[in-house]
Chains A and B, each alone.
Chain A
Amino acid sequence: MINTLVGDFSREEFMLSGHNACSGCGPAIAMRFIMKVAASGAVVVIPASCWSIISGVVPLRSLKTVVLHCPFPAAAATGGGIKKGLEAVGDSRTQVIVLAGDGGTFDIGLQGISGAAERNEDIIFICYDNEAYMNTGTQKSSATPYGSYSATTPAPKVKSDPKKDIMEIVAAHRVPYAATATIAFPGDLSQKIQRALETKGFRFIHILTPCPEGWGSPADITVKLSRLAVLTRLFPLYEIKNGAEYKLNFLPEDYLPVNEYLKPQKRFASLDKLQIEHIQESVENHWKELCCKTGTRK
């Protein structure tokens, strides 16, 4: 049911080597895939985030496309304005892709996203979620999961609240297309970008992108961690059409316990058994809710 192969990505690279990402950077891998599918004929809007830096400091740049930078909370509205402005000057073809981090999506950018979603602005909003403000040194965001260390939730006061459910928030706006994806399933990611490109209106893609620096994980397991997030059902791969039609894209044969995902990450080092059980339980509850919405019996 899922295209897990690298599949038919363009051989052309739109992301150049020598960029400013840290080694093992999940957002950099995500961008490489996104660009291979969507770069041609698109404008990319980037608010303050890791990608403000990765895209290059003047006069260097790492993306072979048009990149417009904008203030932190402004991405969704700026993207909508670019699209409306292009239409006003007679260009209805160019795709506008906003690429924001979890801070610019879950936190400071949320109002703008809600407005753009309500107006059904004709843009693709991609959130690359590394679950904290990583660009500035791992301060917590509302995407930071329960039990995680961050510079502003240091042990023993690690994050005590659950991660915000951004997919449900976006879906509640009844937008034409919303999907989750990871860099461990590039075929699935590619398909979802493609579907977004073929859909009109507000499209949202939520990509989990591990950050070795902030998560305290080895740089060479970024893809593996992304896969574990799916196999433990902590980050299910699914789509929501028109805010109502849910579809699970991947049902793991055997579910792995969440600890398999948590263990390699130093940000969860302070978790005790009970807390891990709590995470396991909330993952199972979320999964049940999703299965219920998709009519899946598993």
Chain B
Amino acid sequence: MGRKLMNGNQAAALAVKYSRVQVVCAYPITPQTSLVENIAQMWAGGEFPGEYVSVESEYSALSYLIGASYSGARTFTATSCQGLAYMHELLHWAAGARLPIVLVNVNRALGAPWSLEPDQLDSLSQRDTGWIQFYCADVQEIMDTLIFSFRLVEQTRIPCMVVYDGFVLSHTYEVVEPPLQEQVDHFLLSPPSRAAFHTDKPQTIQAVTDSRYLSRVLQERHLSMLKIPGIVKELDHKFQEIFARSYPLAEGTNLETADTVIVAAGSLAQTVKSFLNTVEDRKEKLGLLRLRLFRPLPKDEIASLLSGDNIKKIVVIDRNVSAGVGGIFAQELRALLQGIPYRGKIFEFNLAGGIDLTPAMMEKVLQAISEDPGSEGKIIWGVDLQ
């Protein structure tokens, strides 16, 4: 198939079709809406042979998939902000029940007040639910990561959330190379097609337990999560063999030479990358660390990417804020870098509320940290630099 122009939501819908999902269940919410509309269109036209069920809430959407997944079907849903928050209880349940569900979350700010801006707190505040989380940087990556995720969840039985920025990626058109159906069929395992139960064999699933049993379950989930970075790497080799594209757990640019490293996730990383490419003759040597797999955080990879003596300063860009703490990516990075031989300083640059990152703003941040080394520990707010 040739290259095509499409936006993030269209790419995600196509990935669902190629992945031969059996049950899609969703509730519309801006900016996810065109994703589910695209699936509904393909379903109505007979192009998508799976079931498409439109329910009365996000709560029921994920409940429905929990049911369908218990029955052994390949399942998908998509949501955003309030919808993801409304699913919260079920996110925990799906992970606890080890159900291989794939979910797209299109980042949008949580109210109050109402907003349509691409703040990341919706997905980041679900980081402890036990789901794998990927943050995508472009439209091709959305399509590829989704296809990849179906294989990943069915192999590990840990559900996966594929995250991308509202509007910036969901509604922006980019050139994409769609896969061939044979390639996807070759990469994915056949759908589980096996229920978690058999009516001839009485059993009770997810019944009340005592602390000892529960602790084992939670321990097992934690240990399974720790294996995810290794499994993602392995699967990425297979993916590369078939699709000739590859995605790292975390992506480094100019990290061998940089004295100042900018850390960002999602489309923000693309913005920073073009900033690196366009700005020459500056006193700092800039590098970029893009966070892609966020849950579990690939500790070893990130530590090794940031291990160079050349790195003196790290600027973490967060488009979210955990009130009273600061940016969540910054918080996670600080925790990760604890106890490893690292000498650089960490600065926080915060775009909470969905502030757009501009080159002028980037310049001001770099200036601020070079003029005031004491700004480490303080937050530089994008809104103050506009």
Interface residues, chain A, with chain B CB atoms under 8 Å away: 40-43, 45, 52-53, 55-58, 61, 63-71, 73-74, 76-91, 94, 111-112, 114-116, 118-119
Apart from A69-B208, A70-B67, A85-B72: 8 A-B pairs, beta carbons within 8 A: A57-B208, A67-B203, A68-B196, A69-B207, A71-B89, A85-B70, A111-B59, A116-B60
- Interface residue from B50, B67, B205 paired with A79 (Cβ < 8 Å): B67
Q: In the complex the two chains form, is B56's CB within 8 Å of A81's CB?
A: no
Within 8 A of A (CB), among B58-75: 59-61, 63-73, 75
- Pick the most buried of B75, B193, B199, B213: most chain A CB atoms within 10 A of its CB: B199
Which B187-235 residues sit within 8 Å CB-CB of chain A?
191, 193-199, 201-210, 213
In the complex, the answer to whether B93 meets A70 with C-beta atoms within 8 Å is yes
Q: Which of B55, B89, B93 has its CB near the most chain A CB atoms (within 10 A)?
A: B55
- Top 3 closest A-B pairs, CB basis? A81-B67, A85-B71, A85-B68
Is the CB–CB distance between A77 and B63 below 8 Å? yes
CA distance A115 to B51 in the complex (A): 17
Enumerate chain B residues within 8 angstroms of A64, measured Cβ to Cβ.
202
Q: Say yes or no: B23 contacts A77, CB within 8 Å.
A: no
Q: Which residue of B lies closest to A62 (CB)?
A: B204
Query: Can you identify 14 A-B contacts, CB atoms within 8 angstroms?
Result: A40-B199, A58-B209, A58-B210, A63-B202, A66-B204, A69-B205, A73-B63, A78-B70, A81-B64, A81-B68, A82-B68, A89-B72, A89-B193, A91-B71
* Residue ID in chain B nearest A114 by CB atoms: B56
Distance A139 CA – B22 CA, assembled complex (angstroms): 41
Residues A43 and B63 in contact in the complex (CB < 8 Å), given A52-B207, A58-B210, A67-B204:
no
Contact A69 to B204, CB < 8 A, known contacts A82-B67, A85-B71:
yes
Contacts of A61 in B (CB 8 A): 202-204, 207
Q: Which residues of B contact A116 (CB under 8 A)?
A: 60
Write the nearest CB–CB distance from B11 to chain A, whole angstroms: 24
B152 at the interface (CB under 8 A from A): no
Cβ of B208 and Cβ of A58 under 8 Å apart?
A: yes
Set of chain A residues within 8 Å of B206, measured between Cβ atoms: 68-70
- Report if B180 contacts A (CB, 8 A): no
**Are the C-beta atoms of B67 and A53 separated by less than 8 Å?**
no
CB neighbours of B197 from chain A (8 A): 43, 66, 68
